[in-house]
Amino acid sequence: MMKFIFPLFSVVLMFSGFAQAQQLTQYNAAKVQRAIQLQQQDKIVDAIDVLSKLTPSQAYDKAYVQRMLGVFHWQNGNSKAAVKYLSTAVNSQQLVDEQAWVTQRMLADLLLTEQRFKEALPHYYQLTKTIPKNQKVGDLWFRIAQTHYQISQWDKVLSALNKHQKVAKIHKEQDKRQLLVLKLGAQLQRKYWKSAIPTLTALIELEPDQAGWWQQLSSIQLQLNQPSNALDTLVLAQRQGIVLSQSELKILAQLYAQRGIPEKAAQVMAQLADYETDKEIIITQASYWQAAKEWDKAIAVWQKAAQFDGQYYWQVAQLQIQEGYYQQGLKSLNKVKDYNKTDDVALAKTRAYYKLNQLELALVNAKRANEFKPSNEAKGWIQYLSQMRQIKG
């Protein structure tokens, strides 16, 4: 629930207007003056007692006294009583001009502090119709937006904020922040994702160290299928010193990979807390290094993955043989236990033994591959190696 600050200027204006209250009868005017003196001496209870004993016969006098009682009860910490007396004064329609306006404003603010939001709104809207010269209409629209927010009327929040921005001049960053936070909340509730982006951008400009704004912005950009923008946002967040969560780091790595920068993706994976102990993280990082053609790094990380699951010795062996590490590749191939890869393993051994100039072992493995699963590649190796053996005789 939002917190609201009570506008003390209303109370000041109420007392300053006493000198102009020429319609009060002489007796009641004297009692009101006495009550004000007691109030100024911090004798609020005595001031209330003086006014409570009055029984004005004139409608204006009654409304004025009710108004004063509302002020004093608020100052004495009794908001419910203050609302009661101010409501009577406003509903009497005896108060006029700025006197009436200020009284209704105080009543609206009190209803707001009492969380009687639906009762406060008609008063605020009425106040916007006639604005005294020394009052700020922008402040009213902001309170209207706050009140609608409390009762989840999101579109009305945004409408009120738009009116506020048209008439208000915001100088303090804190005031601008409150407006943007209120606007963002309503936009997110209504799932106005595109509209929320400039709001979040403005919040980031105000508070670049707040991780939440960066996180929400990147999340919305992903929601709108804007991976490039989401990547830029997360990168800028890191440069700003924002510590990304584990899930955000994974997303950042994926976005780098999608943009065709797998080496950056692999480097981001290394920032994860469990990058050396989590099997899935290790496999993903190995894939990124391999996509980046960083063969030695890929081999090293695939070897880590193979310690968790022997099937990954196949990736290790393939890269080792590709890079000319034939002896290491053969050792890795001997650790591959996947029955479905028997022919592939045998063909890989064929290539490794051939490179090591061990033609007999190469031929044995070529025949083994063909027996398990006949293929043109296996047959081609058998024919070629058989000819080489004959030549060497």
pLDDT digits (tens, 9 = 90+) for 33-73: 999 999 899 999 999 999 999 988 899 999 999 999 999 99
The answer to whether the pTM exceeds 0.85 is: no
- The residues, ordered by sequence, that sit 6+ positions from 215 with a Cβ below 8 Å of its Cβ are 237, 245, 248
Tokens found for residue 386: 């058989």
Q: How far apart are CA 43 and CA 51, in angstroms?
A: 13
List Cβ<8 Å contacts ≥24 apart for 135-141. Answer: 135/101, 135/105, 136/168, 137/167, 137/168, 138/164, 138/167, 138/168, 138/169, 139/7, 139/168, 140/105, 141/167, 141/168
User: How large a percentage of the chain has pLDDT more than 70?
Assistant: 93
E-only strand ranges, the chain: none
Instruction: State residue 67's pLDDT score.
Output: 93
- Backbone φ and ψ for 157, nearest 5 degrees, come out as -60, -50
- Has residue 353 got a pLDDT over 90? yes
Q: Are 67 and 95 in contact (CB under 8 A)?
A: yes
Q: According to the model, what pLDDT value does residue 68 have? A: 92
Q: What per-residue confidence (pLDDT) applies to 22?
A: 52
- Residue 13 pLDDT greater than 90, yes or no: no
- In order of 296, 327, 383, the CA distances from 322 in angstroms are 11, 12, 23
Confidence of residue 23 (pLDDT cuts 50, 70, 90): confident
Please determine, for residue 7, whether its predicted confidence score (pLDDT) is greater than 80. no
Q: What is the mean pLDDT of the chain?
A: 90
Per-residue confidence band for 393, with pLDDT thresholds at 50, 70 and 90: low
Give the pLDDT score at 339.
Answer: 73
Per-residue pLDDT, averaged over 361-377, amounts to 95
The pLDDT of 75-84, averaged and rounded, is 92
Q: Is 92 exposed, middle or buried (0-12, 13-18, 19+ CB in 10 A)?
A: middle
Residue ranges and CATH numbers for the domains of the chain are 1-135 (1.25.40.10), 338-393 (no CATH)
256-282 pLDDT per residue, tens: 999 999 999 999 999 998 888 999 999
Rounded mean pLDDT of 314-337? Answer: 96
Q: What does the pLDDT read at residue 194?
A: 97
Compute the average pLDDT of residues 120-136: 89
pLDDT digits (tens, 9 = 90+) for 162-215: 999 888 776 567 788 999 999 999 999 999 999 999 999 999 999 999 999 999
Phi and psi (nearest 5°) for 278?
A: -95, 120
Taking 70 as the threshold, does the pLDDT of residue 10 lie above it? no
Given this model, what pLDDT does residue 171 score? 58
pLDDT per residue as tens digits for the range 282-305: 999 999 999 999 999 999 999 999
Query: Residue 12: which pLDDT band, with cuts at 50, 70 and 90?
Result: very low
Look at residue 256 in the predicted model and tell me its pLDDT.
98
Question: How confident is the model over 81-119, as pLDDT tens digits?
Answer: 999 999 999 999 998 888 899 999 999 999 998 999 999
